[in-house]
Chains A and B, each alone.
Chain A
Amino acid sequence: ETGVTQSPTHLIKTRGQQVTLRCSSQSGHNTVSWYQQALGQGPQFIFQYYREEENGRGNFPPRFSGLQFPNYSSELNVNALELDDSALYLCASSFGGRANQPQHFGDGTRLSIL
C-alpha cells in the first residue's frame, strides 16, 4: 500500500511569487486535506477536497487555492507569497463519506519565503 507522497520536499521562494505544491493520496482514498504547520504549532486546516469538489475551507485568504484530479491527487497553489507563508505544508488523505476515518499524512513540503 503506497502512502501519501508530497513534492517537492523543500522550496525557497521570494515575496510576491507563486508556488504549486503537489500531493498523491494513499491508494483507495478519495479525500485530500491540506494543512499549514508553523514552527512549534499544530497543523491549521486550509481546505479539503472530496471527489474533486472543495468540501470545507479554513481561515485562509483566496490566494490559497487548490485542485483535486480524477485520480484523487491534489495541488495547493499560493499566489502573492508573503513572509508569513513560510511553514510546513501537509497533505492528508482519507476515505471520505465514512464516519471517523483517520487522515493519513505525508511528510510535507517545507516552504521558505525570503
Chain B
Amino acid sequence: EDQVTQSPEALRLQEGESSSLNCSYTVSGLRGLFWYRQDPGKGPEFLFTLYSAGEEKEKERLKATLTKKESFLHITAPKPEDSATYLCAVQDRRGSEKLVFGKGTKLTVNP
C-alpha cells in the first residue's frame, strides 16, 4: 500500500531563516510526486510535480528535490506570506490517477 510521511508536523521560522521539509514515501512504481500548498479554509494549490530521482524544480523561494525514497521542499529566506500547510502526495503507476497524501507540514514564518 502506498504511504507518505511528512516531517516535521509543524515548523516555526523567523523571516529569512532557511529550512527544509521532508516527505518520505513508499510506492510500488512512482508515476509522480506532487507538492501542494494549502492556506486555511482553502483547497490545496499546486506547486510542483517531480517524476524521477535526481529531478529538481524551483519557484521563487521554493525548491523541490526527489530521491528514490524521499523528497525535500527547501525554503530559502522565507517571508511571512510563505506561512501555510505544505502537502506532499504520490501517484502510483498502477490503476487510477489517485493521489495519496501525507498529513502535511504546517509552516509559520514570523516577521
Interface set of A (CB-CB < 8 Å, partner B): 4, 31, 33, 35, 40-45, 48, 55-56, 58, 90, 92, 94, 96, 99-108
8 Å CB interface, B87-111 against A: 87, 89, 91, 95-104
Residue on B nearest A56 in the bound complex, by CB: B96
Interface residues in B, total, Cβ within 8 A: 26
B44 touches A105 (CB 8 A): yes
B98 touches A58 (CB 8 A): yes
B102 touches A42 (CB 8 A): yes
28 A-B contacts, Cβ less than 8 Å apart?
A33-B98, A35-B99, A35-B101, A42-B4, A42-B103, A42-B104, A43-B87, A45-B98, A45-B99, A55-B96, A56-B95, A56-B98, A58-B98, A90-B43, A100-B31, A100-B49, A100-B91, A102-B34, A103-B34, A103-B99, A104-B46, A105-B44, A105-B45, A107-B41, A107-B42, A107-B43, A108-B42, A108-B43
Q: Whole-angstrom distance between the alpha carbons of A5 and B8 in the complex?
A: 32
B101 touches A42 (CB 8 A): yes
B49 touches A33 (CB 8 A): no
By a CB distance below 8 angstroms, the chain A residues around B96 are 48, 55-56
Q: Whole-angstrom distance between the alpha carbons of A95 and B97 in the complex?
A: 10
Given contacts A33-B97, A48-B96, A55-B96, contact A102 B46 (CB under 8 A): yes
Given contacts A40-B103, A45-B98, A108-B42, 13 further A-B contacts (CB under 8 A): A4-B43, A31-B97, A41-B103, A43-B99, A44-B101, A45-B99, A48-B96, A55-B97, A94-B97, A102-B34, A105-B36, A105-B45, A107-B41
By a CB distance below 8 angstroms, the chain A residues around B91 are 100
A102 touches B49 (CB 8 A): yes
Residue on B nearest A90 in the bound complex, by CB: B43
Considering the complex of A and B, which 6 residue pairs feature the smallest CB-CB distances, nearest first? A56-B96, A42-B101, A105-B43, A100-B32, A45-B98, A107-B43
B29 to chain A, nearest CB (A): 12
A96 touches B103 (CB 8 A): no
